[in-house]
Amino acid sequence: MYVAVKGGECAIENAHAWLAEERRGDTNVAELSLAQIREQLSLAVNRVMAEGSLYDRDLAALAIKQARGDLIEAVFLIRAYRSTLPRFGYSRPVETGEMACDRRISATFKDAPGGQVLGPTFDYTHRLLDFKLAADGEVPEAPVSAPREEATPHITEFLQSEDIIEREPASDAVPGDLTREPMSFPADRAVRLQSLTRGDEGFILGMAYSTQRGYARNHAFVGELRIGKVPVEMDIPELGFAIEIGEVELTECETVNQFKGSKTVPPQFTRGYGLVFGQSERKSIAMALVDRALRWEELGEDNVGAAAQDEEFVLSHADNIQATGFLEHIKLPHYVDFQSELELVRKLRREAAQLAETLAAKEAAE
Amino acid sequence: MNTIFSAEDRKGWMSLLSSADEARLTKLWLDYGTDPAFEFLRAPEAGGVMVRGRMGCTGAPFNLGEMTVTRCALALADGTIGHGYVQGRSKAKAEIAAKIDALMQTGAAGTLNEAVLVPLAEARQAQKVARAAKAAATKVEFFTMVRGED
């Protein structure tokens, strides 16, 4: 039951004033600028853009500052802002084959055309704290080499030429959009992918890890992981043709998974797909694993009852804003709800006590 | 006086303007020095565009997430219409882009191209090459270790 109550305005105002002060912290320490957050906490910015489902580095930096670094709160701010934006339209599907790759690795082919390009990675660092960063240090310039001029081909192309992996036939089907129609089950793969790419990184990671530990195991190899910028094109009705409306940085992961065949198809590898805003490697790999696990039915696999196979379970709990909204609402006043429960327990206790008394009296009489 | 240009040309300059660095674009535009009289047909407004990807990079489309875009439309005194579609939320940038789009359809195209678009394209290319060069330096060169007892 909900009952309107008034009160607390002054306390709330004062709490928000104190919040602003605490957000700023010690004023002897220089204030963070949005540009500093955007440039130096770029992976936090990427995460807020991916889960906020809005690609805008400056807005994500502002949200992180306002949220005091609480990334889920920052995602919440971005989602709220996003809902106020008029929707100009939908882009053409981005061509990740044209990506200007900062990083591109394959765990399946050592000598893949285009090579193993590590990019600015944490891999192979020793994960030891670097105390040089505690002092203001000049950063040496990164070495350069002759740049690759042509686009880097996808690894799956090579497997496809041998027909040894399932094909992803192109189509112009209009995908469902969960920002327009609420999700319903069964969800098709397009809606699943949209939900996974904006889902909470920790949740998607946990689900993906569960498949590796044996709950709906699907033996994923990272066929390819690539990070870089792609142009975004949109058809402009008033012009009658498409133009680039900007560029986005994306992380794409294609997994090559264990094979299956049927009466009509010889054994072949299957695929999982991850595509996420920004440099978001962990999320992208996790997304591909969960995508693959959720495809059990269309691939004719058994439902072994694993959580990662249950699309209603995965998709209904992947969104951290829905989750935190429902979770955190229980800290708000529930005085009336609780009052009714309190009265109920008191009544039950009275009844139990009366019953015990009656029984005791009966026993004594006998 | 309008010049002849193809849809491909127009797509090229509008695409270049959409992701141009705002500070650089503004400086080049101010240095160009001509600010034509115009009327807004559509005042600058910020909005979102849903970006799509393809499952397995070649398959059916899905919705990836939105990006911010600002657009406007204007008409020069001679009636030439310019459209601005730029990434982000800057109304000033959208306005400059629309003015350039309009002027590129007029006799001013040649000088404007030299003054603004060519430097923007060069900057974009230089930035792309600089990143590609750093990426190339991180390409693994495998070598085989010779092993054996004799």
The pLDDT tens digits for B26-52 are 999 999 998 999 999 999 999 999 999
Nearest to A311 by CA among A190, A209, A202: A190
Give the pLDDT band (50/70/90) at residue A20.
very high
Mean pLDDT of chain A: 93
Helices A281-294, A201-212: crossing angle, 10 deg rounding:
60
Average pLDDT value for residue range A334-348: 91
Chain B residues in contact with A199 by the CB 8 A cut-off are none
Chain B residues in contact with A109 by the CB 8 A cut-off are none
Q: Is the pLDDT of residue A35 over 90?
A: yes
Quote the percentage of chain A above a pLDDT of 90.
80
Give the integer Cα–Cα distance in Å for A68 and A50: 19
Provide DSSP, A81-132. Answer: HHTTS-EEEEEEEP-GGG-EEEEEE-SS-TT-TT--B--S-STT------GG
**Distance of residue B34 Cα from the nearest chain A Cα, in angstroms:** 25
Alpha-carbon torsion (A304, A307, A308, A310), positive or negative: positive
Coil/strand/helix, residue A54? strand
Let me know if residue B117 belongs to a domain. yes
Mean pLDDT of chain B: 94
Let me know if residue B91 belongs to a domain. yes
* Residue A261 pLDDT: 72
Q: Which distant-in-sequence residues (6+ apart) come within 8 Å of A107 by Cβ?
A: A221, A222, A223
Let me know if residue B21 belongs to a domain. yes
Q: What is the DSSP letter of A250?
A: E
Give the integer Cα–Cα distance in Å for A186 and A296: 13
Nearest to A293 by CA among A216, A221, A224: A216
Contact by Cβ (8 Å): A256, A223: yes
Q: Scanning the structure block, which residue is given the tokens 């060519």?
A: B118
Let me know if residue B103 belongs to a domain. yes
Nearest to A54 among B19, B52, B66 (CB): B66
A88-127 pLDDT tens trace: 999 999 999 999 999 999 999 988 889 999 999 999 999 9
Average pLDDT value for residue range A21-38: 97
Nearest to A100 among B14, B65, B128 (CB): B128
* Residue A112 pLDDT: 87
Give the pLDDT band (50/70/90) at residue A2.
low
Give the integer Cα–Cα distance in Å for B20 and B124: 8
Let me know if residue B2 belongs to a domain. no
* Residue A134 pLDDT: 86
Q: Which distant-in-sequence residues (6+ apart) come within 8 Å of B57 by Cβ?
A: A96, A97, A154, A156, A168, A252, A254, A273
A293-316 pLDDT tens trace: 999 998 888 899 999 999 999 999
In 10 A of CB A230, how many CB atoms?
A: 20
Is the CB of B47 less than 8 angstroms away from the CB of A86?
yes
Chain B residues in contact with A35 by the CB 8 A cut-off are none
Cis peptide before A186 (omega within 30 of 0): yes
A127-181 pLDDT tens trace: 999 888 888 778 889 999 999 989 999 999 888 888 889 888 889 999 999 999 9
Chain B residues in contact with A193 by the CB 8 A cut-off are 53, 55, 62
Coil/strand/helix, residue A292? helix
Let me know if residue B147 belongs to a domain. no
**Residue ranges making up the domain that contains B46:** 7-137
The tokens of A258 are what?
């264990």
Give the integer Cα–Cα distance in Å for B127 and B134: 11
Q: Is the pLDDT of residue B21 over 70?
A: yes
Extended beta strands in B1-150, E state: 38-54, 61-76, 81-87
Provide DSSP, A177-224. Answer: -TTTS---SS--HHHHHHHHHTS-HHHHHHHHHHHHTTTT----EEEE
The gap from C-alpha A53 to its chain's centroid, in whole angstroms, comes to: 9
Average pLDDT value for residue range A257-286: 90
Chain A (64-83) residues lying within 8 Å, Cβ to Cβ, of chain B: 82
Let me know if residue B127 belongs to a domain. yes
The percent of chain B in helix, strand and coil, each rounded to the nearest 5, is 45, 30, 25
Let me know if residue B35 belongs to a domain. yes
Average pLDDT value for residue range A248-263: 89
* Residue B1 pLDDT: 47
Chain B residues in contact with A268 by the CB 8 A cut-off are none
* Residue B149 pLDDT: 62
**Distance of residue B17 Cα from the nearest chain A Cα, in angstroms:** 9
Is the CB of A85 inside 8 Å of chain B's CB atoms? yes
Strand bridging mode A54-55 / B61-76: parallel
Contact by Cβ (8 Å): B115, B99: no
Alpha-carbon torsion (B27, B28, B32, B38), positive or negative: negative
* Residue A178 pLDDT: 95
Q: Scanning the structure block, which residue is given the tokens 């270790």?
A: B145
Give the integer Cα–Cα distance in Å for A152 and A298: 30
Provide DSSP, A15-26. Answer: HHHHHHHHHH--
Contact by Cβ (8 Å): B136, B52: no
The percent of chain A in helix, strand and coil, each rounded to the nearest 5, is 45, 15, 40
Nearest to A255 by CA among A233, A275, A270: A270
Give the integer Cα–Cα distance in Å for A5 and B145: 77
* Residue B148 pLDDT: 67
Average pLDDT value for residue range A351-364: 92
* Residue A260 pLDDT: 74
Give the pLDDT band (50/70/90) at residue A253.
very high
* Residue B3 pLDDT: 67
B60-74 pLDDT tens trace: 999 999 999 999 999
A166-220 pLDDT tens trace: 888 889 999 999 999 999 999 999 999 999 999 999 999 999 999 999 998 888 9
Q: Scanning the structure block, which residue is given the tokens 């350039």?
A: B100
How many distinct structural domains can be found in chain B? 1
**How far from A164 is each of A107, A223, A254, A265, A270, CA to CA, in Å?**
17, 13, 15, 10, 9
Q: Which distant-in-sequence residues (6+ apart) come within 8 Å of A56 by Cβ?
A: A49, B67, B68, B88, B89
Average pLDDT value for residue range B111-136: 97
Is the CB of A243 less than 8 angstroms away from the CB of B15?
yes
Contact by Cβ (8 Å): B98, B72: yes
